[in-house]
Amino acid sequence: MLGIRENKEIRELRELGERLLRAEDIAEYLQVSIKTLRNWCYREKIPYVKVNGCVRFKLKEIETWINTTNNATA
């Protein structure tokens, strides 16, 4: 999965299940800048939801997006 190391923090994120995560958490998980992540949201390239105007992410949807994106470019 994009060469992301399976570490304690990532295992903890997976255990969160459907909990909504902040942009900072997902940017760290994907190893991209916040600016890049916000750009992807603006261009609707990554799945996200808005809760009271705040952008949030579901880890399962992000992992599905990663796998779909990898398969489309392979």
Domain locations in the chain as residue ranges: 10-73
List the CATH code of the domain at 10-73.
Answer: 1.10.10
The mean per-residue pLDDT over the stretch 9-24 comes to: 74
Pairwise CA distance, residues 51 & 74, whole Å: 34
0.75 surpassed by pTM: no
- Residues 33-69: pLDDT tens digits? 999 999 999 999 999 999 889 999 998 899 999 999 8
